[in-house]
Chains A and B, each alone.
Chain A
C-alpha cells in the first residue's frame, strides 16, 4: 500500500532482504552492504531475523534504504536475495510487484518457481567460488562476499567504500583481505557482464553537504547500553546468559578489558560475575549496590520472572539496582529471537506485595546510552531498582543514530549517602526516617563507622530499621515508600511530544515503536489526517503525561504486545478515562512497521465516521 513502484522514487528508497541459512557466515557480508550505503551518506535500517539456533535454520537480514531517514522496518521487500532453497517459495512470494529476486544458479533448477511480476536473476555464486577459492569454509564465507559484489553492481553501491570497509575489518590479515576483495570484485564484474546494472532502485551517493548520515553512527542498543554502564561508573556486572541481552554484557566486558585494566599490573577495576542463574545475578547486584558499587544485570523476560523475590527485597529494603530487560517474545520461553514489549506490567509491579518500580523506555540505541547512565543515578537517588526496558529490536539490530556525546562535567549522583564526617557529626543514625519530606531516607555504607551501622531486612521494619510487626510502624514505612514514588515522577525522563497543536486525536506510544509511529504520522498527514503524538519515556508517569491524556479526546495507544499493557498501565496509574484509549497492537515478533499503525488508525476512524470531523 505504501510502496510506490515508480522507478524514480525508488532511488535511495527501497528494501533489500537477504535470505540465508544461519551458521554460514552471512552476517559480515550483510554488515558490509549496510555500512557501505551508510557511508555513501544514505540513511539505512538493518534488521536481523534470526532463529533460536546455532546452525542450519533460515535467517533473514533486511536492509531498508530510506532517504527520509525513517527508523522502522517498512514491511515490504523490493529485492530479495534468496540463498536458502528451503525458504525460496515464501521468499519469492514476499517480493512486491515490480521487484527482483537474486538466486544462486550453480545448480540447475528445472522447476524453479517464477512470478510474472518479479524479475529473477541467477548468478552461479557457488560455482564461481569453487573455481576460484580453496577450502570448504572459505568458499562458503566468500560466496556471501561475492554476492555483496553482485549487489554493489545492481544497486550502484560504491565499490571503493566496500574495499575500504573490508580493509578495516581485515587490517591485520592480508591473505583474508585479498580473498575477500577478489570475491567482491568477481561478483561485481559478473553482474556487470550479465545483469541489467544498475537497477532503477539504486543507491545514489549523498556526498559532503548532502550527506544524511554525517555525524551519525550505526550501533546496536546493547552496545550503547554497555557504554552507558561504563560511563556511569558501573563496576560490578552480574548476569546469566539469555538472548537477547547477552551482547550487552559481552560489550561491557570488552569495554572494561580495554579501559579498566591497569596496563602495567593487569589489575582490574571491575568485576563481572557469570552467575549460576538470574536469582543469583540480581542477588549479586543488590549485594554490590548495598556495599556502594554501581551494579547492574542485563536479562530478558524469563530472567525477570526469576528475579521477582529479590526485586521486592530491593524495593522494600531500599537498595539501588539497575536491571536491563531486553524484552523478547513471551509467554514462557516464547520466541527468544523475536521482539516484543511484553514485560511492561511484569516489571512495573515485579514481586509480591505492594511494589512499584521505576521503568525507563529507550526508543533507540542513543537513548539506551543516556538512559543507562540515568538509570544508575535514579537508582541511587531513589534507592530502588530501576529497569531499562529495551527490546530485541533495539538491543540487537544496528540503528543509525546521532554520534553519542559525553559531558565531561558529569559526576555520578550517589544520592543521600552519608560520608564519614556526616556520620560522625550525627547523634544517632536512623536508616528509614524521612528527614526531607521527599520520601527518600539517608543511607550509609558498610565499613565506614559503627554509628552508621544498620540492619537491612525484607521483614517488617520501623523507620529506624528495627524489626516490627506493629501496624502503625509498618504502615509508616510503606506510606513513605509511596511518597518516594511520587518524588520519582519529578526525576524520571519526561515524555517527548510531536505535533501537539491542540488537536483532539493523538497517538501515545513508547520505546521502539517510535520510528514506525513517526513514519505513520507522515503518511497520515499526507492523507489529511493530523494527529498529536506523545512518547512516554518513563514510569511512573509525570504530570506532562496526565495533561496530554486529559487534553486529547481520542487517543491511539500503540504498543507491541497482545494485551495492551501500556494502556493498562495508563489506566491504572493516571486519571485518564479508559474509553478514550484505543489500542493499536502489534505482536507478531517482528518489529512494528508504520503500515500497521496507519491501518489501525484508518480502521478506527472509519468506524467512527460520524464523529470524524469532531475528532480531527
Chain B
C-alpha cells in the first residue's frame, strides 16, 4: 500500500478564513482507518477548528505516538510538519520540539493505549511541565491497531469482541490530569462536532498543556453489546456539563447567553472562552470541585463532557524556564558563543 494523495479540486465557492484559505487547505492525506472509525470524526473536527482559527498551516506541528489514533496526524493540516514518534513517547518529542521553538501550535494526538499504558509516565510529566500544547486522546477503550485487546481505560465489566470481560478498574485520563495539575482539562465525544470544535480551538489558544479526552468508538473492536465505549453507550451516557465556545479577540459573540448561565474566560491571546453551564452548580475554575463532581457522575455511570477545568494563571514551561522570546532555534550563533576571549576567561581557573 502506498500513500494516497487526495485529489485537490478547488471549488471557488468554498468559504474562506481570514487567510483566504478554505477547509481543503487544512486537510491531509486520505485516511486509511476503518470506515466509521471515531478517530476520523476527530480529524474532521481538528480541520474545522484550525481553519476556523485561521492558523497558517505551517505554524502547526503535529505529533503522535503509535496506534490507529496516532496515524491521524497524517490526515489533517498537510501543510504542517508531522512526527509519528514511537509508542507512548510523543510527549518527550513534544517537550524537545517546544523547547526549540515556542512559536508554533503543537497538536498531539494519542490513543488510550499510547497514553495510559506504555506512555503513562511521559504523559504525566508533560502535564507536570505544563508544555504549551494541545493533547488529544482518542479514547476507545481498546488497542485498535493490535486488534482489540483491552486498554487501561476499559471499564470494569466491559466486554471485548471475543467475549472476555474486563475485570480491572479503568484509568480515567481526565481524573488523572486533574490530580496532576493539568491547566486545561476537557472531555468530549467524537460524534459531537458542535462541542468538540470549540474545545479544540480553546485548547489551541490555551497557554499551557490542554488535554481533551475524546471518547472515540472503535467500530471494529469495540462497538458491540457490552462495550462501554460504543457509539450507542456513549450517546446514552453522555452528560454535557459546560458548553464552551471559543471567541477570537476580533469576533463578536454570536450566541446569546442568559445572564447567570454564562461565564467568560479570557485567554492570553485576547480571545475568550464563553462557558455555558448546563449545571448551575458547576465551577470549571475550581479544581477540587471539578474532581468531586466528576467522581460523583462517574459513580452514576455518566461521562461528564465539556470544559471541565481551566487555569490560565499557572506559568507554562517557557515561563518557568524564563526562556527568551525569540525561539531558541532561531537565535543566531554569534549570540550563543562566548568566543575565543570568553574561552580564555573560562579556562583561567583551570590553570
CB nearest to B92 among chain A residues:
A283
Q: Is A335 an interface residue (CB 8 A)?
A: no
Note all chain A residues with C-beta closer than 8 A to B329: 235, 288, 291-293, 445
In Å, the complex CA distance between A444 and B329 comes to: 13
Given known A-B contacts A231-B337, A453-B58, A238 and B96 have beta carbons under 8 A apart:
yes
Q: Is A606 an interface residue (CB 8 A)?
A: no
Known: A283-B89, A283-B96. 19 other contacts (CB 8 A): A217-B347, A230-B337, A238-B95, A238-B96, A267-B325, A281-B92, A283-B91, A284-B96, A287-B99, A287-B100, A292-B101, A292-B330, A293-B96, A293-B100, A293-B101, A412-B333, A449-B58, A455-B81, A464-B3
Q: Is A123 an interface residue (CB 8 A)?
A: no
CB nearest to A365 among chain B residues:
B350
Distance in angstroms from A452 CB to nearest chain B CB is 7
Q: State which of A62-70, A183-191, A258-266 sits at the interface with chain B.
A: A258-266
CB nearest to A234 among chain B residues:
B336
Q: Is A288 a contact of B97 with CB atoms below 8 Å?
A: yes
Q: Is A271 a contact of B92 with CB atoms below 8 Å?
A: no
Distance in angstroms from B326 CB to nearest chain A CB is 8
| Residues 80-96 (chain B) with a chain A CB within 8 angstroms | 80-86, 89, 91-96
In Å, the complex CA distance between A290 and B98 comes to: 11
Q: Is A275 a contact of B92 with CB atoms below 8 Å?
A: yes
Q: Is A466 a contact of B350 with CB atoms below 8 Å?
A: no
Q: Is A271 a contact of B101 with CB atoms below 8 Å?
A: no
Q: State which of B8-16, B287-295, B338-346 sits at the interface with chain A.
A: B338-346
Q: Is A199 an interface residue (CB 8 A)?
A: no
Total A-B residue contacts, Cβ distance less than 8 Å? 231
| Residues 449-484 (chain A) with a chain B CB within 8 angstroms | 449-459, 462, 464, 466-470, 473
Q: Is A522 an interface residue (CB 8 A)?
A: no
Q: Is A233 an interface residue (CB 8 A)?
A: yes
Q: Is B323 a contact of A467 with CB atoms below 8 Å?
A: no
In Å, the complex CA distance between A470 and B3 comes to: 11
Q: Is A491 an interface residue (CB 8 A)?
A: no
Given known A-B contacts A266-B322, A404-B343, A464-B3, A309 and B79 have beta carbons under 8 A apart:
no
In Å, the complex CA distance between A292 and B349 comes to: 34
User: In the complex, how many residues of chain A place their beta carbon closer than 8 angstroms to a beta carbon of chain B?
Assistant: 78
CB nearest to A38 among chain B residues:
B351
Q: Is A446 an interface residue (CB 8 A)?
A: yes
Contact of A279 among B84, B89, B331, B346 (CB under 8 A): B89
In Å, the complex CA distance between A235 and B318 comes to: 13
In Å, the complex CA distance between A468 and B79 comes to: 20
Q: Is A268 a contact of B121 with CB atoms below 8 Å?
A: no
Q: Is B122 an interface residue (CB 8 A)?
A: yes
Distance in angstroms from B260 CB to nearest chain A CB is 43
Given known A-B contacts A446-B101, A448-B58, A283 and B74 have beta carbons under 8 A apart:
no
Given known A-B contacts A268-B322, A271-B321, A453 and B84 have beta carbons under 8 A apart:
no
Q: Is A288 a contact of B3 with CB atoms below 8 Å?
A: no
In Å, the complex CA distance between A444 and B79 comes to: 12
Instruction: Mark each residue of chain A from 420 to 448: 1 if its CB lies under 8 Å from any CB of chain B, else 0.
Output: 00000000000000000000000011111
Note all chain B residues with C-beta closer than 8 A to A290: 83, 93, 96-97
Q: Is B2 an interface residue (CB 8 A)?
A: yes
Q: Is A469 a contact of B1 with CB atoms below 8 Å?
A: yes
Q: Is A405 an interface residue (CB 8 A)?
A: yes
Q: Is B58 a contact of A452 with CB atoms below 8 Å?
A: yes
Note all chain A residues with C-beta closer than 8 A to B93: 283-284, 286-287, 290
Contact of A284 among B57, B74, B99 (CB under 8 A): B99
Instruction: Mark each residue of chain A from 589 to 601: 1 if its CB lies under 8 Å from any CB of chain B, else 0.
Output: 0000000000000
Contact of A291 among B96, B321, B339 (CB under 8 A): B96
In Å, the complex CA distance between A411 and B337 comes to: 10
Contact of A273 among B3, B83, B99 (CB under 8 A): B99
Note all chain B residues with C-beta closer than 8 A to A458: 84-86
Q: Is A267 a contact of B74 with CB atoms below 8 Å?
A: no
Contact of B328 among A270, A448, A468 (CB under 8 A): A270
Note all chain B residues with C-beta closer than 8 A to A275: 92, 95, 125
Instruction: Give the one of B73, B104, B339, B346 with max A CB within 10 A.
Output: B346
Q: Is B95 a contact of A280 with CB atoms below 8 Å?
A: yes
Distance in angstroms from A430 CB to nearest chain B CB is 12
In Å, the complex CA distance between A459 and B2 comes to: 12
In Å, the complex CA distance between A468 and B335 comes to: 43
In Å, the complex CA distance between A449 and B56 comes to: 9
Q: Is B78 an interface residue (CB 8 A)?
A: yes
Distance in angstroms from B323 CB to nearest chain A CB is 5
Instruction: Mark each residue of chain B from 7 to 32: 1 if its CB lies under 8 Å from any CB of chain A, else 0.
Output: 00000000000000000000001000
Note all chain B residues with C-beta closer than 8 A to A470: 1-2
Q: Is B100 a contact of A295 with CB atoms below 8 Å?
A: yes
Instruction: Mark each residue of chain B from 266 to 301: 1 if its CB lies under 8 Å from any CB of chain A, else 0.
Output: 000000000000000000000000000000000000
Q: Is B103 an interface residue (CB 8 A)?
A: yes
Q: Is B95 a contact of A235 with CB atoms below 8 Å?
A: no
Distance in angstroms from B53 CB to nearest chain A CB is 16
Q: Is A455 a contact of B92 with CB atoms below 8 Å?
A: no
Q: Is A283 a contact of B85 with CB atoms below 8 Å?
A: yes
Distance in angstroms from A436 CB to nearest chain B CB is 23
Instruction: Mark each residue of chain A from 233 to 266: 1 if its CB lies under 8 Å from any CB of chain B, else 0.
Output: 1011010000000000000000100011010001
